[in-house]
Chains A and B, each alone.
Chain A
Amino acid sequence: GQQVMQIPQYQHVQEGEDFTTYCNSSTTLSNIQWYKQRPGGHPVFLIQLVKSGEVKKQKRLTFQFGEAKKNSSLHITATQTTDVGTYFCLGSGAGSYQLTFGKGTKLSVIP
């Protein structure tokens, strides 16, 4: 079945440093979504990528979808304490309804 690997599992950064999390799928995806879960909260949708090689930006966040539509990354520039939380990717299998979450990357920002 479809598997989505997400790394790293944890990341501790000083405030102002950059942060990146990566997702790799075992199969080609039709689209990938990214979610953020604040401590004690529930996942909230951030963005969706659909096209091969697509890049989207939201302020300090940059999302990329690989050319082969099997990998994706989320990059945060100059982290702030408000970025703290766990970031999950959700991959949708091409030609199927199967959805698979990555295990998540827990980001800690040291002020």
Chain B
Amino acid sequence: GAGVSQSPSNKVTEKGKDVELRCDPISGHTALYWYRQSLGQGLEFLIYFQGNSAPDKSGLPSDRFSAERTGGSVSTLTIQRTQQEDSAVYLCASRERGNYNEQFFGPGTRLTVL
């Protein structure tokens, strides 16, 4: 089947605008992660969803960031009132339940805030 998909692939927005980034995980994968990767940097954990459990939001950098996962499948990451420092690649990953399973990454959304 298809891998993890993300949309849009690129997003350019003006400072202060809101953006929504979408992630479609692999069917049947109960765990979903959002990461942020600034240019040339490592992966910064943002949020983790596991099944119907309350998400782990400990990595969200500010209250301008939020995410939801509807029906245990598609997830949307929302950034309100974007700032220039939000410019980065936002990666989504999914895996089957259990820490012993590999994460499958989507291609990412490159966000540029002007």
Contact = CB atoms under 8 A, between A and B. Distances in A.
Contacts, number: 50
Nearest to B100: A31
A106 B42 CA distance: 10
A92 B105 contact: no
Nearest to A104: B42
B42 A88 contact: yes
Contacts of B42: 6, 88, 101-104
Interface string B80-114: 00000000000101000001101111111000000
B39 to A, nearest CB: 12
A50 B98 CA distance: 13
Interface string B42-74: 110100101000001000000000000000000
Contacts of A31: 99-100
Contact of B43 (A33, A41, A50, A101): A101
Contacts of A102: 42
A74 interface: no
A4 to B, nearest CB: 10
B108 to A, nearest CB: 6
A30 B108 CA distance: 28
A43 interface: yes
A48 B53 CA distance: 26
Interface of B: 33, 35, 40-43, 45, 48, 50, 56, 91, 93, 99-100, 102-108
Given A42-B107, A97-B99, A101-B35, 19 more contacts: A30-B99, A33-B102, A42-B91, A42-B106, A42-B108, A43-B43, A43-B103, A45-B103, A45-B104, A48-B102, A88-B42, A88-B43, A92-B99, A99-B45, A99-B99, A102-B42, A103-B42, A104-B42, A106-B40
5 contacts: A31-B99, A48-B100, A99-B33, A102-B42, A104-B43
